[in-house]
Amino acid sequence: MWEGLVDELLPRFCLGCGVRLEPRGAPLDLCARCAGRLLALDPARSCGGCARPLPEGRLEPPRCLACALRPPPWRRLHALWLYRPPLDSVIAGLKYRRLDYLGARLAVAALAARGGGLRGVERVVPVPLAWGRRLRRGFNQAERVARPLAAGLGASCVEALRRRGGAPQVGRGRRERWRLLEGRGFAPARPEAVRGRRVLLVDDVLTTGATARAATAALAAAGAASVEVLVIAWTPPAPGAGAAEPEGAAP
């Protein structure tokens, strides 16, 4: 009765198409039709280094040729979905519409999809926001996913990184993102919390990998035994783009 009353007073609408949602059964604020449009990445058929799709029959751990020749700094990349509609509306709702409850629901989805591959993680570290952006937003969207994810894994959520500054990267190209991060990026905030530990770095979207590489480098500098990366959304590279960062980019 109470749920029905709340739904009448505060109805929810699908973030993908705007249709009114039923009181239950829409954990990501998507109707059944829009939820069916989410494009999940199969970990058995995706490169564990860059998430590119792989042909069948590859050996474990799955790697594309580019990552086999030039491995990324993380042990494995876990990407849940392609960054395509309607997932972009869910991410935007979390980041810009203050629907921070979506963080916990995305964490549940991550546990259901990849929890088995994350056994043994000891520390979960959200990618930090610049202090000005966090102040304006009121929260860090990566932390909203990381904290319940850590609880589900029986690990500790630790804000072990700090940003050194830099302009927002939204809308910027691959090389420009690397120029912004080079020499700034991230620094360890609590090295003792990750030293010798298996660490899972959490962010909402991976586009070029520049942020994840810089954050992974900072965790490695703090003494982390290994670093894995989990992102909700993965943006496929442009046709012809390599899986690794451009030559001369920051490590």
Instruction: Enumerate the domain spans of the chain.
Output: 77-234
List phi, psi (to 5°) of 34.
-70, -40
What DSSP character marks residue 226? Answer: E
CA distance 50 to 202: 15
For the chain, helix, strand, coil in percent to 5 are 35, 20, 45
Radius of gyration of the chain (CA): 18
Instruction: Give yes or no for a contact between 81 and 232, defined as CB atoms under 8 angstroms apart.
Output: yes
In eight-state DSSP terms, residue 231 is: E
Whether the Cβ atoms of residue 108 and residue 152 lie closer than 8 Å to each other:
yes
Query: What is the pTM assigned to this prediction?
Result: 0.85
pLDDT in tens, 166-213: 555 555 555 555 455 444 589 999 999 999 999 999 999 999 999 999
Strands (E), the chain: 76-82, 123-126, 156-157, 161-163, 186-188, 198-206, 226-234
pLDDT in tens, the chain (251 residues): 555 565 666 788 999 999 999 877 789 999 999 999 999 999 988 999 999 998 765 556 688 888 989 999 999 999 999 999 999 999 999 999 999 999 999 999 999 999 999 999 999 999 999 888 888 999 999 999 999 999 999 999 999 999 986 555 555 555 555 455 444 589 999 999 999 999 999 999 999 999 999 999 999 999 999 999 999 999 998 665 554 443 333 32
- Report d(CA 42, CA 162) in Å as an integer: 32
**Is domain 77-234 in CATH 3.40.50.2020, yes or no?**
yes
| Alpha helices by DSSP H, 19-169 | 32-35, 65-69, 87-96, 101-114, 131-137, 141-153
> In b/e form, how buried is each residue of 206-225, taking b as 16+ CB within 10 angstroms?
bbbbbbbbbbbbbbbebebe
d(CA 201, CA 211): 11
Query: What is each CA distance from 213 to 10, 96, 141, 143, 177, in whole angstroms?
Result: 41, 25, 19, 18, 11
Count of beta carbons in the 10 Å neighbourhood of residue 135: 9
- Which residue from 234, 235, 236, 230 is spatially nearest to 110, judged by alpha carbons? 230
Task: Give Cα separations from 177 to 12, 51, 205, 246 (angstroms).
Answer: 36, 19, 14, 11
Question: What burial class does residue 187 get, using C-beta atoms within 10 Å of its C-beta: 0-12 exposed, 13-18 middle, 19+ buried?
Answer: middle
